[in-house]
Amino acid sequence: MSLAALGLETPDKLRAAFASRRTVPIHGGAQVSELLPWDAIDSLKCSDAIDASDYYLGFRGGAVPREAYREPGGKLKPAVIQAFLDKGASLVLNQIHRHVPAIGQVSKYLAGLTGSRVIANAYLTFGEVSIFAPHSDGHDVLALQIFGAKRWIFYDTVGQVRSEILLESSDLLFVPQGEIHEAIPVALPSVHLSFGLAYSQAGS
């Protein structure tokens, strides 16, 4: 499945965004919830099929200790996780392309379009606190807002706000490697996918 198949954007527009090496928003207008519908989210948020290293539960700006929401043998505690989410916690499901076929298809499409290795992560935010403090990534990112909205804030190297971009459902955002940013939820619950684009040295 391509993003164009979802009614989003043409490959030419995506290539132009990637080639620009600048933060580029691409406003959508399509229905993208089929990529990660709520019934899939409800199934995945307490799924033991997701490796512990790919599962991050955050609350009030920090990570919840694993022992708080996992049994001694490693199994998740659904009631505990739901209680945290009800209080405004956030959940990150890394490598979600391995568990949701439609997201896997988009990842393959982007890999073919860019010549990169693509890893897709899901960010589920139920409170008003950003999952992570301002940071930069060691790879390019293509973010796709599924539900709700987030305000992406970009900083210069001394911590001053350089720009802000609001992403609503079906909006795309290209973030080049090294851009310092954070994503603040503004309409809850907020769900977005992050496609990390990692290039080989020869192709970068």
Domains of the chain: 4-36+100-198 (2.60.120.650), 40-91 (no CATH)
Q: What's the pLDDT at 138?
A: 95
Describe the chain by its helix, strand, coil percentages, rounded to 5: 25, 35, 35
For the chain, residues with pLDDT lower than 50 are 202-204
Q: What is the pTM assigned to this prediction? A: 0.93
Q: What's the pLDDT at 11?
A: 75
Euclidean distance between CA atoms 185 and 197, whole angstroms: 23
Q: What's the pLDDT at 140?
A: 97
First to last CA, the chain: 25
Q: What's the pLDDT at 6?
A: 62
Q: What's the pLDDT at 12?
A: 80
